[in-house]
A and B are shown apart, each in its own frame.
Chain A
């Protein structure tokens, strides 16, 4: 490169410095050029990928996801309804078994008479069902 002989400095130092300068300048400019080229390439690639391949790939997936979401919602509702029904049935069973217990007690009581039992049953019948029902425990 530009190596003028300056007095008082060894030749090798100037060569070394010139080489370093050349290396630095060339590598810097080379990298800048590479980046400029690569950037355009990279951008174009990403844009192309997004417009064609990615959209084509994503669309059916999106439809499928929507379908599955709807399905999941339906199933959840169904499950909730079933649980409600189960709860009601459990309450009824609990209620009936309590009634049965009471009647058995009345029947097996030492001084049980037909009239007393009839009175008990009649009273039970008169009482509205909702009044008799208590909150049942989770496990019968």
Chain B
């Protein structure tokens, strides 16, 4: 169902972020890097979840983007991934702002843009899913309108 260009031409930014996230997570874990902001603000358990979350989110997002089966399933997986990505990015923004304050304006802005973009994208996906379900039931009203 479409090659890589068709799949990503409408959402290159999302694609880039989703590719970067797992790379970042793997680097954090493999190199045992602990950014000061993350180290200071997040408790250990949350920090570990956060690092693995980066990897999971990236992999899941790409999986959803290139899902070979039904379009709706792929979109659902992608929706879960971008929701989590938004949360992860927002967590990092909070810790950045707490630790570095005004010094973190640039970093926080860009990472915050990732968070906002992810949530906007998830709203868009929800709309698409609604539309898909409506199309499935158009004419044949076999079951009540499904909730996404």
Digit string of B18-54 for contact with A (CB within 8 Å is 1, else 0)? 0000000000000000000000111111100110010
**Cβ of B90 under 8 Å from chain A:** yes
**Cβ of B86 and Cβ of A24 under 8 Å apart?**
yes
Contacts of A3 in B (CB 8 A): 43
Number of interface residues of B (CB under 8 A): 41
Asked if residues A27 and B140 are in contact (CB atoms below 8 Å), the reply is no
Report B124-148 residues with CB < 8 Å from chain A CB.
133, 136-137, 140, 142-143, 146-148
Contact of B87 among A4, A20, A34 (CB under 8 A): A20
**How many angstroms between the C-alpha atoms of A14 and B50 in the bound complex?**
13
Interface check B94, CB cutoff 8 A:
yes
- In angstroms, Cα B42 to Cα A18, docked, is 8
**Min CB distance, A22 to chain B, in Å?**
8
- Residues on B close to A: CB < 8 A? 40-46, 49-50, 53, 57, 60, 70, 72-73, 76-77, 79-81, 83-88, 90-91, 94-95, 98-99, 133, 136-137, 140, 142-143, 146-148
**Residue among B40, B45, B86, B87 with max Cβ neighbours from chain A (10 Å):** B87
| Nearest A-chain residue to B69, judged by Cβ | A39
Partner of A27, one of B84, B142, B146: B84
Complex Cα spacing A53 to B140, Å: 8
Return the contact of B42 from the options A17, A23, A29 (Cβ within 8 A). A17
Quick one: CB contact mask for A43-56 with B, threshold 8 Å, 1 for yes? 10110110001100
16 residue pairs from A and B, CB less than 8 Å apart: A2-B45, A17-B91, A18-B46, A21-B88, A23-B87, A24-B83, A24-B84, A25-B53, A27-B84, A28-B60, A31-B79, A31-B80, A32-B76, A32-B77, A42-B133, A54-B140
**B136, A46: Cβ atoms closer than 8 Å:** yes
Q: Do A28 and B83 have beta carbons less than 8 Å apart?
A: yes
Given A3-B43, A13-B98, A34-B148: A45 in contact with B87 (beta carbons within 8 A):
no
Give the chain A neighbours of B147 by CB distance below 8 A.
34
**Which residue on chain B has the smallest CB distance to residue A39?**
B73
A29-43 near B? 1/0 per residue, CB < 8 Å:
101101100110111
